[in-house]
Amino acid sequence: MSLWIHRHKSNNGLKTRLRSGRPTKLKGNFLKDLKKKLLKKINSANEKYSNISTKQIKQFLAKEVGKDYSIRHVERIMHKLGFSLITPRPQHLRHDQEKVNKFRDEFKKNSNRNIWIMNL
């Protein structure tokens, strides 16, 4: 916060300054082509679920771009391309949906307050 106050007081304004370092190779049309290739790879990897791991994408990018990116940077690139990371949530082996529904019904009957329920 103090950085922004200092910038404003020094009459430099609040605009973001140019950053030092090498510009990224991943721009414009190259990103569009990369997205098309990734979609093709994801769909061919698993027809039923259409998913692929971050490590597999990292290997794909290393082959396509010629640079080895970190896992975190691969996640940033995927987010920039419009993808979202979904983490699977496994269910317990002894999960019994009938018992869960019964508990919810009894809980609702015994509760004097309004509660949120999950529509299944």
pLDDT surpassing 70 at residue 47: no
| pLDDT tens figures, 59-89 | 988 998 888 989 899 888 888 888 887 766 6
pLDDT surpassing 60 at residue 117: no
**Would you place residue 48 in the very low, low, confident or very high pLDDT band (cuts 50, 70, 90)?**
low
pLDDT surpassing 70 at residue 101: yes
Instruction: State the distance between the two ends of the chain, measured CA to CA, in whole angstroms.
Output: 45
**Would you place residue 97 in the very low, low, confident or very high pLDDT band (cuts 50, 70, 90)?**
confident
pLDDT in the model for residue 6? 80
Q: Which two tokens stand for residue 42?
A: 């994801």
Residue 61 backbone dihedrals phi, psi, to 5 degrees = -65, -40
Domain ranges of the chain: 25-87
Q: How far apart are CA 86 and CA 111, in angstroms?
A: 35
